[in-house]
Amino acid sequence: MKRTVPLMIVLVGGVLMIIQYFIPHRISQDIFDNYTIWVPIIGAFALALGVGSLTRLHGHKVRNKAPNWPYSLAVLLPIYLMPIFAFFVPVSFGGGMDEPGFYHFAFMHIQVPIQSTMFSILAFYIASAAFRAFRAKSVLATILLLTAVIVMMGQVPIGELLGSWFPKLGLWIIDFPNNAAKRAIGLGVGFGILATQLKIIFGVERNWLGGAGE
């Protein structure tokens, strides 16, 4: 019941879906259509896992007054306040309903700026790395560096001013040698995906069962 049944579900579900692909009959199509309607419903409940885990982790920190515990409140409060503001108190700052409420505000004016600024910090680190880490130490490193410089300058208008061959060469590198490398890597990844799919379907790969008891 604990391991065999889930493995059987995976096997039967996987094999049926592969067969379904090759039999475009009305019945098999109907089953498939219903399946695609069911899946998002099941998936929606997986959210409870994330919310539960975060609540448990940060609730524990707050209760035990762990170091830096007030930050845990910054996680817990929005998790529960966002739905409250969205469903029960959808009012804006002015108290009316004409402007978007706190729920919208928190997403647009707190979440979006923080998250995009965090990503943008990488620009500073790549500049620092350009100065201190990108060295032409060997032939291979030199090839990488030269390619990067050509592609980089080919992407900006000033590269076009330096010579019209710059962007053309950059595009040629992307379309041919780059494609050769990415295709070889892509084929490796593609075969890897297929092998993993088969391993999961046939129960060779069982890590997904996780630690939910034997």
Partner 1 sequence: MKENIWSRMLNLDRRWIFLFIGVVCIVPFFFPFGLPVLPTAHVISIFDYVENLGPENAIFVSFDFDPGTDPENMPMAVAVTRHAFSRHIPVFFTANAPLAQGMLESGLAYITNPALEGYFHVVSWQEWAQYRDQGITERDQLEAAWEADGNVLPANSSGWVFEGRDFAKLGYLPYFSLVILGMTSSIASQYPEDMNGNPLVEMPMLQEHKSLRDVDLAATFSGTAACTWWITYGREKIGLPVAFGVTAVSATDYTIFIQSGQLIGQMGGLRGAAEYEVLLQNAGYFDKPDRAFIGMDVQNAAHLLILFFIVLGNIAYFAGGFHKKGALLKGRR
Partner 2 sequence: MYETIGIWTAAIFTLAVYSFLYKENPLYRLGEHLVVGISTGYFIVVTYEQVLKPRLIDPIANDGEYILFIPALLGLLYITRFFPKIAWLSRYPMAFIMGTSMGVGFPLSMKASVLRQLEATILPLYSAGMPWQIVVGNVVLVLGTLAALIYFFFSKPHKGPFFGTGSKIGIWVIMIGFGATFGFTVMGRISLLIGRIQFLLNDWLGVIK
124-160: b or e for each residue (b if 16 or more CB lie within 10 Å)?
eeeeeeeeeeeeeeeeeeeeeeebeebbebbeeeebe
Q: What is the DSSP-derived secondary structure letter of residue 23?
A: -
Quote the CA–CA distance of 126 and 132 in Å, as a whole number.
10
Quote the CA–CA distance of 181 and 147 in Å, as a whole number.
13
Q: Scanning residues 89 to 148, which ones bind partner 1 (CB under 8 A)?
A: 107-108, 111-113, 115-116, 118-120, 123-124, 126-128, 130-137, 145
Quote the CA–CA distance of 197 and 1 in Å, as a whole number.
23
Least CB distance from residue 83 to partner 1, whole Å?
12
Indicate the residue among 113 and 163 with the shorter CB distance to partner 1: 113
Q: Give the DSSP letter string of 172-202.
A: HHIIIIIHHHHHHHHHHHHHHHHHHHHHHHT
Q: Are 202 and 15 in contact (CB under 8 A)?
A: no
Among 33, 84, 143, 197, binds partner 1 (CB under 8 A): 33
From the list partner 2, partner 1, none, pick the one residue 27 interacts with, judged by a Cβ distance below 5 to 8 Å according to partner type. Answer: none
Least CB distance from residue 185 to partner 2, whole Å?
7
User: What would the x/- binding string for partner 2 be over residues 68 to 107, using CB under 8 A?
Assistant: x--xx-xxxxxxxxxx--xx----xxx----xx--x-xxx
Least CB distance from residue 156 to partner 1, whole Å?
5
Among 28, 91, 160, 209, binds partner 2 (CB under 8 A): 209
Among residues 205, 212, 213, 211, the alpha carbon closest in space to that of 7 is found at: 205
Q: Scanning residues 144 to 163, which ones bind partner 1 (CB under 8 A)?
A: 145, 149, 152-153, 155-161
**Residue 131 binds partner 2 (CB under 8 A):** no
**Residue 28 binds partner 2 (CB under 8 A):** no
**Residue 46 binds partner 1 (CB under 8 A):** yes
